[in-house]
Amino acid sequence: MLPLCQSGISPVFVVKKSSEIQTRGKEMRRAKISVIGAGNVGATTAHWCAAAELGDVVLLDIPATEGMPAGKALDLFQASPIMGFDSKITGTTDWSDTAASDVIVVTAGIARKPGMSRDDLLSTNAKIVGDVAEQIKNTSPDAIVIVVSNPLDAMVQRTFQVLGFPPSRVLGQAGILDTARYRAFLAMELGVSVEDITAILLGGHGDTMVPIPSCTSVGGIPVTQLIASDRLDSIVERTRKGGAEIVGLLKTGSAYYAPAAASAQMVEAVVRDKKRLVPCAAYCDSEYSVGGYFVGVPVILGGSGVEKIIELSLLPDEKAALNKSIDAVRELVAAMGRPTA
């Protein structure tokens, strides 16, 4: 078992150095990051990416939104002289503006409302995400694609089905968000800094996600030595329902600050080739005996996307919980069905 399953997640917006990538002509240019969907999650992802100078950002939404993405992009760019960041920010409804993107973050789809589960979004968002993937395939065939739309595990599977990209270049954002919620709740419980808590979660993004107590520590001390098992169970349950808790409080929307920050951290790992060990929804075949689905696992995330999947030695109850979560992902994908021509 790895002695440390995940380093603390540092905020991406404190770094002020522009990211550059090598082109075929040996020239250096800033990375091009396109965010699909200019709602709360998409616009906030664009904010974090621009403020961290991860590259130039394109914020795209559907034609029916008219000037909305352009207005948000202009507003964000006008913040740059105040906050001291230097990124080009474009708002558009034209897919040609996203052409030759290095990284694409997909946030498109309808958001949850109170009383809805992530799975309730399945059929509507599968159609939206499938259409988005068709556009990406035509305009940015070399991009690394990060899916944020819910239900996450099914939506990244749909994106992969339509794109036909190598699995290393398609992944889903969920594990970083879920782990951040888990760490936040543990910090609240113990009255310590979130920076001192390391943790990891596996499996699907939803009620079957699997926190791994054997990979959770506070300042190097196993969390099981600091929190009673019944109390730890309640924190795990709150983590699983973390998104629903926010939906219930907001009443007219869903979480966006933390999902966007998690997405931006993944973008940073790619454009700066950080080799971060983070939990992401990655394509697993023989790994964890998944059999060809996207589920949350620890990966090395760098300039070429998912560079390695880390297989942990799990305790029997952790393995059983992960198998249950994998079964739930399989059922969700089966309910979604194959994309239609």
Question: Which residues have a catalytic role annotated?
Answer: 205
CA dist 111 and 122 (Å) reads: 11
Give DSSP secondary structure letters for 94-124.
Answer: -GGGGTT-SEEEE--SPPP-TT--GGGGHHH
H/E run at residue 170 = strand 170-172
Cβ neighbours of 268 (radius 10 Å): 26
The structure tokens listed for 146 are 């990060």
CA dist 64 and 80 (Å) reads: 28
Instruction: Please enumerate in sequence order all residues whose Cβ is within 8 A of that of 77, keeping only pairs 6 or more positions apart, or say none.
Output: 50, 88, 89
Q: No. of H helices and E strands in the chain?
A: 9, 16
| Alpha carbon 182 to chain centroid, angstroms | 15
